[in-house]
Homo-oligomer: A and B are copies of this chain.
């Protein structure tokens, strides 16, 4: 098969009895040029094309023209993790949908960085095969982001990104306001002593949640405990919560919330009777829980869709850099209740 030559416009031309140039024009000539090719010839060429299944080589096309209707998708982690309920699938669903609607194909840049460390700029820019690319992943490489920003290759990040030596085009979730809304809800239910389980620094998504939380801490509300880490033993965390007297606990990670709730139940405490639990995210796969936690919804599919649309805009019309945050609607759940009186 390696020896089999793929069809070229030349072959088509010969079959249709015209020149290579004519084939190219029939395929995608400007209207003015097309007007000069009679219907009959066009149909003859089209027929040969259809019956042979010929498709222009995107590489050559790109070479000559620059565009090939392919969107690259780069993920800093494998796109399909072993854990079933994975992180990327919803994004990909949205991306696929929009790409299909816009008639683009998707190139998953899986080859980049064969080892443990994935790098966009690893082996010659395979990236450039696509007209532009979407970048996703929890942890971006800052240096790479900077290079992307300073280059002239169209890209859009999924998730808010900053500090890249220039504005980063992105579509993200508004975790700040999502978090703030939940804190205010807790406050309205009488909670005055709050706990926060999760980090406050580093990645933007983490910073945003913390900022939303911090901004909502005003008169009458107090942060009585901050466990600045994810994945701590549930027992310890629970001890700290009880000792702090917190009545509402905010978890950055669903997995933590699930474990702490289970630990609490094991000790005869119950959520939300003894303390409320609010979840702000779920990156890590959590054990299944019978509890429906109060949280906010991250519109992942919509993020994928909008990021794709934005990328197409940037490719096709050199649109200016946009930064979009999508609203994260609260999810009622069963774990936020009135403060126990």
> A residues touching B (Cβ–Cβ < 8 Å)?
1-4, 6-7, 50, 53-63, 68-70, 78-82, 84-86, 89, 92-93, 96-97, 99-101, 103-112, 114, 121, 123-129, 132, 147, 150-154, 314-318
B108 touches A152 (CB 8 A): no
A108 touches B111 (CB 8 A): no
Q: How far is the CB of A70 from chain B (nearest CB, A)?
A: 7
A105 touches B129 (CB 8 A): yes
Q: How far is the CB of A269 from chain B (nearest CB, A)?
A: 26
In the complex with contacts A59-B68, A80-B96, A89-B84, A315-B53 CB distance below 8 A: no
| CA gap between A1 and B147 in the complex, in Å | 10
B78 touches A96 (CB 8 A): yes
In the complex with contacts A1-B150, A55-B125, A150-B1, A96-B84 CB distance below 8 A: no
| CA gap between A96 and B69 in the complex, in Å | 21
In the complex with contacts A79-B96, A80-B92, A1-B128 CB distance below 8 A: no
B107 touches A111 (CB 8 A): no
B127 touches A55 (CB 8 A): yes
B154 touches A1 (CB 8 A): yes
A97 touches B111 (CB 8 A): no
| CA gap between A123 and B51 in the complex, in Å | 10
B100 touches A111 (CB 8 A): yes
Q: How far is the CB of A121 from chain B (nearest CB, A)?
A: 6
| CA gap between A89 and B96 in the complex, in Å | 13
A105 touches B109 (CB 8 A): yes
Q: Which residues of chain B are near A108, meaning CB under 8 Å?
A: 96, 105-108
In the complex with contacts A53-B125, A78-B100, A1-B110 CB distance below 8 A: no
**A4 and chain B: residue at smallest CB distance:** B152
Q: Which residues of chain B are near A112, meaning CB under 8 Å?
A: 105
Q: How far is the CB of A268 from chain B (nearest CB, A)?
A: 25
